[in-house]
Amino acid sequence: MKILLPETFAAVLLLASSAGVFAQGVVRGTVSDPLGAVVKDAKVTLERGDSSIADTKTGDDGTFSFSSVSAGRYHVAVSSPGFAAYKGQDSFVNATGTTTMDVGLQISTIKNEIVVSATGSEVPISQVGASVTLIDAADIQAENKLDVLENLRQVAGAQIIQTGERGGGTSLYIRGGESAFNKILIDGVPSNAIGGGFDFAQLSNSGVQSLEILKGANSVLFGADALAGVVNITTTRGTTVTPELKYTVDGGNFGTLNEAVSLGGAFRQFDYYSIFSRFDTQGSYPNSAFHNGTYAGNFGWIPNAKTDVRITYRRNWTDLGA
């Protein structure tokens, strides 16, 4: 039997606590251009919130690395002559291990757009041969429309047909295909029955981060009902370390009132976002009143750079007519 002396025990405790204090992680990645070639001598900045932590440049193989990074939420900002400035999303860096943050730069005159509907995985739109339209959060906010159907009206090759006033049945026809030939995905989950249509009149813009419309058949990835096209709807995620609470309200004639309240943020590996909106109008004709209440929630856990566990929930309550 060996007896641990008090002095030895104290030294072991000191070493263990020191290892916990000084345990730090590594952030690394590769910077590439729209065609997949590496970009050397690009300036890479590791940021935490609005603060710059460290700077480096990519090597001849396009890679960069930051060592001795304490645990927390970080993102990288990249700049290089001839390319558009890049600022990535926050990722949680563990006190041990390596976190990978690969970066795809776009030419400065081209908008940085990533799509998934054509290939099933994230690919720059410049590398996709199919006809894809991406309506991002900035476009949705600039257009300031109440419903997704109003944003889809701006897409070339897509036709929105609505019966009656607001709330009436609404169908989407892509390049002349039947409305039942479209696959509608919300956060990657099919939202219409196989071979069935989808009523866009009930889908508000509350909690919608982006709309991706693929025009053309993609039944190989999404099934036989994706003969005309695919609409992929992505909901908003929380990104700010400080919880962000928003309330908006507006109204007009015919008893129209629209209001929404949302709460979102991120803490270590977790992010959260919830929004509830309500729209009411009496309409301009008898029995044309419309009510739409919408709740959308997006809750995620990212234990490491390659794993994303996410729960999304969306529900609509609608009334139309008398």
Specify the range with the lowest mean pLDDT, choosing from 70-74, 123-127, 269-273: 123-127
Alpha carbon distance 278, 272 (integer Å)? 21
Q: Average pLDDT in the 263-272 region?
A: 92
Question: Residue 220 belongs to what H/E stretch?
Answer: helix 219-222
Q: Is the pLDDT of residue 51 over 60?
A: yes
12 vs 100 pLDDT, higher one: 100
34 touches 108 (CB < 8 A)? no
Strands (E), 4-122: 25-32, 43-48, 51-57, 63-69, 72-79, 86-87, 91-93, 98-100, 103-104, 114-115
Alpha carbon distance 45, 257 (integer Å)? 45
Q: How confident is the model at residue 98 (pLDDT cuts 50, 70, 90)?
A: confident
The token duo for 57 is 């440049």
Q: What's phi and psi for 229, nearest 5 deg?
A: 175, 180
pLDDT at position 111 is 59
Q: How confident is the model at residue 25 (pLDDT cuts 50, 70, 90)?
A: confident
289 touches 299 (CB < 8 A)? no
With CA atoms as reference, report the closest residue to 105 among 43, 194, 170: 43
Q: Is the pLDDT of residue 126 over 70?
A: no
Alpha carbon distance 126, 65 (integer Å)? 27
305 touches 99 (CB < 8 A)? yes
Instruction: Please enumerate, as own/partner, the contacts of 140-146 that have beta carbons within 8 Å and a separation of 24 or more.
Output: 140/205, 140/208, 140/209, 140/210, 140/211, 145/205, 146/204, 146/205, 146/258, 146/279
pLDDT at position 192 is 86
Q: How far is CA 225 from CA 149, 187, 195, 198, 201, in A?
A: 20, 18, 5, 12, 20
Q: Average pLDDT in the 40-60 region?
A: 91
Q: Average pLDDT in the 91-97 region?
A: 83
pLDDT at position 211 is 94
Specify the range with the lowest mean pLDDT, choosing from 1-5, 79-83, 149-153: 1-5
- Half-sphere exposure in the Cβ direction for 318 (13 Å, CA): 16
With CA atoms as reference, report the closest residue to 318 among 193, 212, 169: 169
Q: How confident is the model at residue 96 (pLDDT cuts 50, 70, 90)?
A: confident
pLDDT at position 232 is 93
Q: Are strands 25-32 and 98-100 parallel, antiparallel or unpaired?
A: parallel
Give residue-wise pLDDT tens across range 242-261.
899 999 999 999 999 999 99
39-43, 119-123, 141-145, 302-306, range with greatest mean pLDDT: 39-43
The token duo for 215 is 């025009």
Q: Average pLDDT in the 207-220 region?
A: 88
Q: Is the pLDDT of residue 127 over 80?
A: no
With CA atoms as reference, report the closest residue to 36 among 104, 107, 109: 104
Q: Average pLDDT in the 52-58 region?
A: 92
Q: What's phi and psi for 40, nearest 5 deg?
A: -95, 160
Question: Residue 143 belongs to what H/E stretch?
Answer: helix 137-143
HEC secondary structure over 183-203: EEEECCEECCCCCCCCCHHHC
273 touches 262 (CB < 8 A)? yes
pLDDT at position 23 is 57
Q: How confident is the model at residue 7 (pLDDT cuts 50, 70, 90)?
A: low
